[in-house]
Amino acid sequence: MRRLLVLMCVGGTLGCEQAPAPVQADRPTVALGVRVLTENIPPIEGWELQAWVMTLSAVELHLCEEVAWSFVPSAWAHVPSSSTRLGTPVVEDLTRGSGGARIIGEISPPPGRYCKAYAVFSPADDDVLNMTPLSTSMVEGATSLRVLRKPDQEPLVQRWEGKKVVEVLLNGENGPGMNLSWGQHGQIVFEIPVNPPQNKVDEAAESGDNPPSLEPWVEHVLMQVKLFES
């Protein structure tokens, strides 16, 4: 009998007032972006730098309460996107010069306090967001690709297919961690400084006709990736 009365009340046949539907607040949103900072790409004696690109495969946020985390994607596949992860690979042009941040996507994480963000650099696949003058087929399979050329010679294409996960700490107005509440909007931008060390340039000059190695340059750039604070 009790169940019948409840059903009748919900249907309005007993004249009871129907409770208003609760207002659903929007989940937090976070825009994710990249800013290339070309402080100084020194010339390599005898070589012209025609192109240099880097692939950012994924960005992921983690709550302050989490302690352990391991996240290295497959070298040839998208990392699935989720509420805390942007898994769309983006190929950035490292020679486009310093400028403002380029927003590459947005996520909607659950409310909470987030202390870390991870940027994953790994090889591009065939459906990346290609923000460079190079063709997608050319950059496919490369984490970083550089094109050098000597006068009156064919261009030399160098590829680096390694993987690197960069961790940055997030800070808010009240100390460590970014607090995200219902309806709040935030922004996280990774800054990529492109300023190879002089000793790498000197090594390249001493190599003569041999092409300068790309790997030390890439590793140096990735070691300097940080959070951009406007």
Between 35 and 204, residue with greater pLDDT: 35
Q: Mapped to the 3 state alphabet, what secondary structure does 45-93 carry?
A: CCEEEEEEEEEEEEEEEEECCCCCCCCCCCCCCCCCCECCEECCCEEEE
Residue 69: Cβ-neighbour burial (10 angstroms; 0-12, 13-18, 19+): exposed
Supply the pLDDT for residue 201.
57
Instruction: Give the mean pLDDT of the chain.
Output: 80
In whole angstroms, give the CA distance from residue 110 to residue 26.
Answer: 10
Supply the pLDDT for residue 151.
86
Supply the pLDDT for residue 20.
52
Residue 17 has pLDDT above 60, yes or no: no
- Give domain limits for the chain: 23-227
Torsion, Cα of 191, 64, 104, 217 (10° steps): 30
Supply the pLDDT for residue 225.
93
Mean pLDDT of the region 22-48: 81
Supply the pLDDT for residue 161.
95
Token pair recorded at residue 118: 């991870």
Supply the pLDDT for residue 74.
43
Supply the pLDDT for residue 11.
44
In whole angstroms, give the CA distance from residue 74 to residue 121.
Answer: 11
Supply the pLDDT for residue 53.
95
Supply the pLDDT for residue 76.
39
Between 73 and 179, residue with greater pLDDT: 179
pLDDT digit string, tens, across residues 210-224: 677 888 889 889 999
Supply the pLDDT for residue 31.
95
pLDDT digit string, tens, across residues 82-128: 899 999 899 999 988 777 889 999 999 999 999 999 999 999 887 88
